[in-house]
C-alpha cells in the first residue's frame, strides 16, 4: 500500500493542530456520568491531567454499556486453556453478571472506593473478572505477574497496601503445576501490610490450604452471592482517579508503581482499537500476553471490551502446549482476526518449526494482521512471520508507562510503508524528540535519548504510586519539559523511529522487562560475594538473558561451581523464575573506571562479540582480558 493512501499524516496533523479538540472528539466514544471541565487541565498533577472534572466508570464502559446496546449475547471473552483442556465462552451478559457478583464479594469483604486490591493470578477468566470487579466499585487493582517470587509480591503488597488479595491455588506452566498459595502466604508473612482478606480460587490441579478468618473460597462466595442475586452496580469515579497500579522494573530493586487513570485510559485505548488495530466490534482480538504485563492490561482486558470486541484469554505457551501449532489452532478455532504477541514467541515457534509446517494445517483465513511489541522486533523474525502467515506484520513500540503504542504503523488509518527495524511513526498524542546529553535536539538520523514533549497523551502515567518525587526524578528531571523514555535511538528524515537500546539498567528477557540493578542487589546478599555485575547479553530466543559476574570475598575457597549454583537459586527464590537468571560466573576482578564505576557496557559488548574500544577511563585494561578469557571458556564449554 502506498504512503498516500494512509490517513495517518492528516490525522497526526489534526492532533498537532489542536490536541484538546482531538482528544475531546475521541472521548465521545466513551460513556460519561459527567463531562469534563477541561479536556486537559495543564495545572493539575505533575504535567497536567486529562478530562479533569469528568466522572465515569471503566467497567461500565467495558460491560453494561454493550449489554444495554443489545450486544448481551455476543461473546465477550473466550478462555482457551490447552493446559487444562478447557474452552469456555462468556457473553457480554454473562461476563457482566460474573463481574457484578465478584464486585459484590469485594464490597462484602470491606473493599471501598479507592482501596487497593492485589491480584496474583494465572491466565484464567477470573483474573480479568477481578480487574473489572475492582474497576466497577472504584477500587484500584494491582496485578502481580505469576512468575514473580514471594519477596517481589511482598514488595508490591507493601507499596500498594491492599485491603484484599485475589489469587488462585496454582498456575500451570506447560506440564508443571506452580503452587501460588504457598508463595502468597509467604509474601503476606514477609509484608508489613497485611490484607484483611484473600479470595482464593481452588483449581483442580492443586488444592490450597486456607487460613481461617483470612482466606475465603472464591467459588463458595460467588455461589452464595448468586443464590441471593447479590451484585454491585458500577460507581461513578473521577476520570483522574486511579484505575490500577502496575509495578514495573526500574533501576533499583524497588519496583515503580505505574499509575493508570480511568478517563484518559479509556479514551486512548478505545481510539486505538479501530484506528490502530483496525478491529470492529464483534471481532475476535487476541493478545497472547499475560494479565501481569501491561499488554495484558490494555489488550486482553480493557481495550477489546471497551470496543465491544471479543477478547481471548489463553492459558498456554506458543510451543509445547502441545506443539508449535498452538497459536494457529487457537486462531482458526476462534476466528481470530488479529494476534498481538512478543517477537520472542515467534522466535520460539520458528525454532521448533522453521518451515512453518504447522501453519499449513490450520485455516487462518480470518487472520488479517500480526502485531508485535514488548521488545525490539528483529527483521529476521518479522520477515519469517510475513512469509509464513502472509499478513502484514506490525511492530509497535510502547512501555508500561504509556499503556499504548508510542509509535507504530496504524493499520486502521491505512498502512504506511514498512521499514524493517523501525516500529514506524509516532502516534497522535506523542511529540517525539531525540535529545543529546545536554538536552539539545539532534538532527534526523542521529542517535540520542528518545523523549516525549510534555504533556504526555491520555492513558500515560500521571505519576508513580505514592511517589510524585520519584516520578519527576525518573522521567521528567533529565530534560526539562520532556518525558524521558530511557530508550535510545533515532528518528529518520521520514519520521520513522528506531528504538535501539535502553539507557538504564533495564533489560528485556523474552518480552519481560527486568532490572539488572535489582538482580545485583540480590546477588550481593550472598555471603561469599564481594562484588558483582549483572548485564544483559544477546540471546537468539529470548532477545536478552541476564549474565552475572561475581568477585568472591578473599579467603573463600569453596568450589566456585557450588557458589554459582547457589546464586542461581537465590535469584530464582528472591525475584522469581521470570528472571531467567541461569548464567553466572566467578571472575578474578571487575573492570572499572578510575572513579570506580563498573564498565558494564564494555562487558556487554565483549559478551555479545561486538566490536569494542578500550575505555579511556579504564583503571586496569588487563581486567577486560580476564573477563574475555572467562567468557571464552564458558562458550567453549557450551
Ligand atoms: N507463573 C509461574 N512461572 C512462570 C510464569 C508464570 N506466569 N511465566 C513464566 N514462568 C516461568 C517459566 O516457567 C520459566 O521457568 P523455568 O526457568 O523453570 O523454565 C521461567 O519463568 C522463565 O519464563 P520465560 O522466560 O517466559 O520462558 P519460557 O521458556 O517459559 O517461555 C516464551 C518462553 C518465549 C514462550 C515466553 O516467554 C513467551 O511467550 N513470551 C512472550 C512474552 C510476552 O507476552 N510479553 C508481553 C509483551 S507482548
Ligand atoms: P515494558 O514496559 O515491559 O512494556 O517494556 C518497555 C520497553 O521494552 C521499552 O522501553 C523498550 O525498551 C522495549 N520495547 C517495547 N516494545 C518495543 C519495540 N517495538 N521495539 C523496541 N523496543 C521495544
C-alpha cell at 186: 509467604
Going from the Cα of 376 to the center of ligand 2, the distance in angstroms, rounded, reads 7
Q: What is the mean pLDDT of residues 302-316?
A: 98
The model's pLDDT over 338-380, given as tens digits with 9 standing for 90+, comes to: 999 999 999 999 999 999 999 999 999 999 999 999 999 999 9
* Residue recorded with cell 542521529: 446
Check residue 444 and give its pLDDT.
Answer: 97
The answer to whether residue 553 scores a pLDDT higher than 90 is yes
Backbone angles phi, psi at 379, to 5 degrees: -55, -35
Please give the pLDDT value at position 454: 98
Average confidence score pLDDT of the chain: 96
Phi and psi dihedrals of 609, rounded to 5? Answer: 70, 20
Q: Is the CB of 178 under 6 A from ligand 1?
A: yes
Residues 6 or more apart from 82 whose CB is under 8 A from it?
Answer: 315, 316, 321, 322, 326
Q: What does the alpha-carbon distance between residue 266 and residue 205 come to, in Å, rounded to a whole number?
A: 36
* CB contact at 8 A, 245 and 119: no
Return the residue whose CA atom lies nearest to atom 4 of ligand 2.
Answer: 399
b (16+ CB within 10 A) / e for 594-612: eeeebbbebbbbbbeeeeb
Range 7-18 average pLDDT: 98
pLDDT band at 4 (very low <50, low <70, confident <90, very high): low
Tell me the average pLDDT across 444-460.
98
Q: What is the pLDDT of residues 441-450, one digit of tens each?
A: 999 999 999 9
CB of 318 shorter than 6 A to ligand 1 = yes
The whole-number average pLDDT for the span 200-206 is 98
CB 396 near ligand 1, within 6 Å: no
The H or E element spanning position 78 is strand 75-81
**pLDDT score, position 557:** 92
Q: Please tell me the distance from the alpha carbon of residue 130 to that of residue 321, in angstroms, as a whole number.
A: 26
- Report pLDDT digits (tens) over 78-114: 999 999 999 999 999 999 999 999 999 999 999 999 9
Residue 462 pLDDT? 98
Nearest to 217 by CA among 204, 205, 199, 231: 199
Q: Which ligand is nearest to the CA of 452?
A: 2
Q: Looking at the predicted structure, is the pLDDT value of residue 3 above 70?
A: no
* CA dihedral sign, ordered 609, 614, 619, 623: positive
Residues 605 and 627 sit within 8 Å (Cβ to Cβ)? no
Tell me how long the chain is: 638
For residue 2, what pLDDT band results from cuts at 50, 70 and 90? very low
Pocket flag, ligand 1, residue 348 (CB < 6 Å): yes
Shortest-distance ligand to the CA of residue 579 = 1
pLDDT for residue 155 = 96
397 lines ligand 2 (CB under 6 A): yes
Q: Give 578 Cα–ligand 1 centroid separation in angstroms.
A: 6
Ligand 2, atom 20: closest residue by C-alpha: 376
Average pLDDT over residues 144-170: 97
Domains and CATH numbers, the chain: 3-316+396-476 (3.40.50.12780), 509-636 (3.30.300.30)
CA 44 to chain centre: 27
- Among left, alpha and beta (phi > 0; psi -120 to 50; other), residue 393 is beta
Collapsed DSSP state (helix, strand, coil) of residue 599: coil
pLDDT on residue 387: 97
Return left, alpha or beta for 374; rule: phi > 0 is left, psi -120 to 50 is alpha, else beta. left
- Closest-lying ligand 1 atom to the alpha carbon of residue 542: 34
C-alpha cell at 194: 497485611
Beta bridge partners of 534: 548
Distance CA 327, CA 540 (A): 21
Quick: pLDDT tens for 394-432.
999 999 999 999 999 999 999 999 999 999 999 999 999
Ligand 1 site, residue 253, Cβ cutoff 6 A: no
Q: Identify which of 588, 604, 591, 600 has the alpha carbon closest to the alpha carbon of residue 520.
A: 600
Q: Please state the rounded mean pLDDT for residues 501-521.
A: 93
CA distance 210 to 220: 13
Q: Is 502 close to ligand 2, i.e. is its CB under 6 Å away? A: yes
What is the predicted pLDDT for the residue at 634? 85
Best mutation site among 318, 577, 581 for ligand 1, i.e. most ligand atoms within 8 A of its Cβ?
A: 577
Burial environment of residue 488 by CB neighbours within 10 A (0 to 12, 13 to 18, 19 or more): middle
Given pLDDT bands bounded at 50, 70 and 90, which one contains residue 251? confident
Residues whose CB is less than 8 angstroms from the CB of residue 494 and which lie 6 or more positions away in sequence, other chains included: none
| Distance of CA 325 from the midpoint of ligand 2 (Å) | 26
CB 41 within 8 A of CB 19: no
Rounded distance from Cα 96 to ligand 2 centre (Å)? 33
| Grid cell 469485594 in the structure block, residue | 106
Q: How far is the CA of 374 from the centre of ligand 2 (A)?
A: 5
Residue 251's contacts (CB-CB under 8 Å, 6 or more residues apart) are 504, 505, 506, 515, 517
Ligand 2 neighbourhood includes 511 CB (under 6 angstroms):
no
- Start-to-end CA distance of the chain, whole Å, equals 46
Amino acid at each position: 500500500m502506498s504512503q498516500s493512501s494512509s490517513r495517518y499524516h492528516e490525522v497526526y496533523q489534526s492532533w498537532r493542530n489542536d490536541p484538546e479538540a482531538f482528544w475531546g472528539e475521541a472521548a465521545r466514544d466513551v460513556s460519561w456520568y459527567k463531562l469534563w471541565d477541561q479536556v486537559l487541565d495543564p495545572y493539575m498533577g505533575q504535567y497536567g491531567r486529562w478530562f479533569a472534572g469528568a466522572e465515569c466508570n471503566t467497567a461500565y464502559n467495558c460491560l453494561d454499556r454493550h449489554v444495554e446496546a443489545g450486544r448481551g449475547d455476543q461473546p465477550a471473552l473466550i478462555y482457551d486453556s490447552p493446559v487444562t483442556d478447557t474452552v469456555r465462552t462468556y457473553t457480554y451478559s454473562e461476563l457482566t453478571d460474573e463481574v457484578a457478583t465478584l464486585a459484590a464479594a469485594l464490597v462484602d469483604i470491606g473493599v471501598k472506593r479507592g482501596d487497593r486490591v492485589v491480584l496474583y493470578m494465572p491466565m484464567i477468566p477470573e483474573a480479568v473478572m477481578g480487574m473489572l470487579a475492582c474497576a466497577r466499585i472504584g477500587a484500584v487493582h494491582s496485578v502481580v505477574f505469576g512468575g514473580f517470587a514471594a519477596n517481589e509480591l511482598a514488595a508490591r503488597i507493601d507499596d500498594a497496601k491492599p485491603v484484599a488479595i485475589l489469587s488462585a491455588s496454582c498456575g500451570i506452566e506447560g506440564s508443571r503445576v506452580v503452587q501460588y498459595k504457598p508463595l502468597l502466604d509467604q509474601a503476606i508473612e514477609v509484608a508489613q501490610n497485611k490484607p484483611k482478606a484473600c479470595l482464593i480460587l481452588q483449581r483442580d490441579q492443586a488444592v490450597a490450604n486456607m487460613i481461617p478468618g483470612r482466606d475465603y473460597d472464591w467459588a463458595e462466595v460467588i455461589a452464595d452471592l448468586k443464590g441471593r442475586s447479590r451484585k454491585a452496580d458500577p460507581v461513578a469515579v473521577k476520570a483522574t482517579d486511579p484505575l490500577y497500579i502496575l509495578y514495573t522494573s526500574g533501576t533499583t530493586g524497588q519496583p515503580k508503581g505505574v499509575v493508570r487513570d480511568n478517563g484518559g485510559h479509556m479514551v486512548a485505548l478505545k481510539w486505538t482499537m479501530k484506528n490502530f488495530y483496525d478491529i470492529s466490534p464483534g471481532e475476535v482480538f487476541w493478545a497472547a500476553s499475560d494479565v501481569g504485563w501491561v499488554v495484558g492490561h490494555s489488550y486482553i482486558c480493557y481495550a477489546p471490551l471497551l470496543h465491544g470486541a471479543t477478547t481471548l484469554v489463553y492459558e498456554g505457551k506458543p510451543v509445547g502446549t502441545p506443539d508449535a501449532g498452538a497459536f494457529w489452532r487457537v486462531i482458526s478455532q476462534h476466528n481470530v482476526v488479529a494476534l498481538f504477541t512478543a517477537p520472542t514467541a515467534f522466535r520460539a515457534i520458528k525454532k521448533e518449526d522453521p518451515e512453518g509446517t504447522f501453519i499449513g494445517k490450520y485455516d487462518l483465513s480470518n487472520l488479517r494482521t500480526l502485531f508485535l511489541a514488548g521488545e525490539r522486533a528483529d527483521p529476521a523474525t518479522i520477515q519469517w512471520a510475513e512469509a509464513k502467515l502472509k499478513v502484514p506484520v506490525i511492530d509497535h513500540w510502547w512501555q508500561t508507562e504509556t499503556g499504548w503504542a508510542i509509535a507504530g504503523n496504524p493499520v486502521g488509518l491505512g498502512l504506511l510503508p514498512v521499514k524493517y527495524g523501525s516500529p514506524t511513526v509516532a502516534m497522535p498524542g506523542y511529540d517525539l524528540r531525540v535529545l543529546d546529553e545536554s538536552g539539545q535536539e539532534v538532527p534526523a538520523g542521529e542517535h540520542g535519548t528518545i523523549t516525549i514533549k510534555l504533556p504526555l497523551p491520555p492513558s500515560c502515567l500521571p505519576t508513580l504510586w505514592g511517589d510524585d518525587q520519584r516520578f519527576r526524578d525518573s522521567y521528567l528531571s533529565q530534560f526539562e519539559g520532556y518525558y524521558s523514555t530511557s530508550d535510545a535511538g533515532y528518528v529518520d528524515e521520514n519520521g520513522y523511529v528506531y528504538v535501539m537500546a535502553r539507557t538504564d539498567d533495564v533489560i528485556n528477557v523474552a518480552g519481560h522487562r527486568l532490572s539488572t540493578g535489582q538482580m545485583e542487589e540480590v546477588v550481593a546478599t550472598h555471603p561469599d560475594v564481594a562484588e558483582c555485575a549483572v548485564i544483559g547479553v544477546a540471546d537468539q530466543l529470548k532477545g536478552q538473558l541476564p549474565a552475572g559476574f561475581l568477585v568472591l570475598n578473599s579467603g573463600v575457597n569453596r568450589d566456585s561451581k557450588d557458589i554459582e549454583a547457589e546464586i542461581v537459586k537465590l535469584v530464582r527464590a528472591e525475584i522469581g523464575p521470570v528472571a531467567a537468571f541461569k548464567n553466572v560466573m566467578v571472575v578474578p576482578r571487575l573492570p572499572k573506571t578510575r572513579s570506580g564505576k563498573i564498565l558494564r557496557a564494555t562487558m556487554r559488548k565483549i559478551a555479545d562479540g561486538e566490536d569494542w574500544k578500550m575505555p579511556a577511563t579504564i583503571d586496569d585494561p588487563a581486567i577486560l582480558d580476564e573477563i574475555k578469557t572467562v567468557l571464552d571458556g564458558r562458550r567453549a564449554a557450551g
